[in-house]
């Protein structure tokens, strides 16, 4: 889950941008590797996913620690509570984590194809980064939507609908920030959707 409250860093060596090798003599090709000119002969390089690191909360911390915000889903004119799971809140002086076990929601929300599913934060909170997932109920594994950073800090995000018909669990994991930027929260939750 995205609730790690301590971040590690590692250094990497940086090549000399001039491409010169201080230990090589003039005319030497030591340390150089020929590059093929035909792109079809190049091997693909695997790309490691980059984990999002939220900003540090502003100081001083709030006088009273905030609870993690609870999401609702809005579809058309209807709102629906999200079944919340693990969460954590960090300020510049405190942190708290709630490792709640996830339980599948049981009451479906019927969605008509083409409708947007808005995961909405309560007043005073905004999205920094989110990722989504879906799976059939009572199964392992899920289709995961890659993370998206939201520099405009919206109060809601649209999570794509599952491609299957019938019932699906539609979930979200997100980093969110309070209006005064003194609280950062990691939250997760899901709803049960039914597609005709």
pLDDT score, position 50? 58
Please tell me the number of Cα atoms within 13 Å of 103 on its side-chain side.
5
pLDDT score, position 138? 86
* Residue 95: CB atoms within 10 Å: 15
* pTM over cut 0.85: no
Residue 10 pLDDT exceeds 90? no
The pLDDT of 176-193, averaged and rounded, is 96
Query: 140: pLDDT confidence band, cut at 50, 70 and 90?
Result: confident
Q: How far apart are CA 78 and CA 115, in angstroms?
A: 12
Annotate 130-186 with three-state secondary structure.
EEEEEECCCCCCCEEEEEEECCCCCCEEECCCCCCCEEEEEEEEEEEEECCCCCEEE
Please tell me the number of Cα atoms within 13 Å of 16 on its side-chain side.
8
Higher pLDDT, 12 or 4: 4
Q: How far apart are CA 102 and CA 123, in angstroms?
A: 25
pLDDT score, position 29? 45
pLDDT tens readout for residues 34-87: 444 444 444 444 444 558 899 999 999 988 878 999 999 998 888 889 999 999
Residue 25 pLDDT exceeds 80? no
pLDDT score, position 116? 80
Higher pLDDT, 27 or 101: 101
Tokens of 184: 């950062």
The pLDDT of 102-110, averaged and rounded, is 89
The pLDDT of 110-126, averaged and rounded, is 90
Domains defined along the chain, listed by start: 72-195 (2.60.40)
**Of 60, 56, 65, which Cα lies nearest the Cα of 5?**
56
Q: Are 178 and 66 in contact (CB under 8 A)?
A: yes
Q: How far apart are CA 143 and CA 111, in angstroms?
A: 19
């Amino acid at each position: 889950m995205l609730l790690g409250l301590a971040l590690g860093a590692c250094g990497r060596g940086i090549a000399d941008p001039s491409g010169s090798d201080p230990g090589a003599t003039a005319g030497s090709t030591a340390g150089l590797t020929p590059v093929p000119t035909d792109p079809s002969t190049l091997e693909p390089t695997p790309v490691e996913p980059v984990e999002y690191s939220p900003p540090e909360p502003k100081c001083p911390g709030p006088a009273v620690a905030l609870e993690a915000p609870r999401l609702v889903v809005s579809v058309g004119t209807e709102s629906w509570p999200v079944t919340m799971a693990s969460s954590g809140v960090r300020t510049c002086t405190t942190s708290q984590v709630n490792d709640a076990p996830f339980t599948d929601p049981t009451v479906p929300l019927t969605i008509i194809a083409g409708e947007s599913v808005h995961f909405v934060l309560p007043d005073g909170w905004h999205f920094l980064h989110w990722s989504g997932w879906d799976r059939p109920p009572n199964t392992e594994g899920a289709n995961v939507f890659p993370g998206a950073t939201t520099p405009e800090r919206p109060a809601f995000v649209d999570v794509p609908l599952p491609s299957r018909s019938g019932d699906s669990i539609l979930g979200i994991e997100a980093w969110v920030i309070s209006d005064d930027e003194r609280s950062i929260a990691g939250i997760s939750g899901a709803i049960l959707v039914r597609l005709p």
